[in-house]
Structure 1
C-alpha cells in the first residue's frame, strides 16, 4: 500500500533522520520530496506562466540508500480566465512523480 501525504514543510530534513523516522513508523521506504522550482504568475493577466517543479527520492529505511528518484514539472497557460495559483499543480504533480518512482 502506498500512502501519499503532502505537507507544506519549510524546514529542512536530514535524510538519515527521515529514514529513522520512517523505519520507526514501520515503513520500508522513506519518500522525500523537494520543490525545485516555483513561479506564481501573480495574476491571470500578467502573461507570466505559473510553474512548479519537484524532485522526489525514495530511500531504503534500513540502510538509507537511495532506491529511486523521479522529478516532474508542470506549467500553466500564458493567459487564463481564472485566478488559479501555482499551488494547483502540487497535488497532481507530486502524486504523479511519487507514482513514477515505483513503475
Structure 2
C-alpha cells in the first residue's frame, strides 16, 4: 500500500480545517502541545490513541468536546512534530477500524514554518 493514501499534505489539511470538518488529532507530548498547536486539533498522546479512539461516542465527546468520527471517516487526521509518531498513531487507528485515517506527515514543524498557526 502506497503511503500517499495515508498521508495528507499541508494544503489538503488547511482546506479540510477551513471547511470546519474533519478531526485533527495531535499525538505529541503535553509539553510540545503547550508550546503551540494547530487550531482545532484535539490532544491524544500517541500512547493513548488506542484507548481513546476506542471510547464510545458519548465518552469521546464528553472527554474531548468533539464528535467521534465514524470508522469510515476520510477526515480523521493525526499529526505530531515531524511525522513519525503521527504515522504510528495512524496505523493504530487503522487497526481499530478507522480505515481511512491519515497522517499529516509535515507535522507541527511544517505547519508552523508555513505560517499556519
Task: Tell me the TM-score normalized by structure 2.
Answer: 0.28
Kindly name which structure, 1 or 2, has the bigger radius of gyration based on alpha carbons. 1
Q: Between Structure 1 and Structure 2, which shows a larger proportion of helix residues? A: 2
**Larger strand percent:** 1
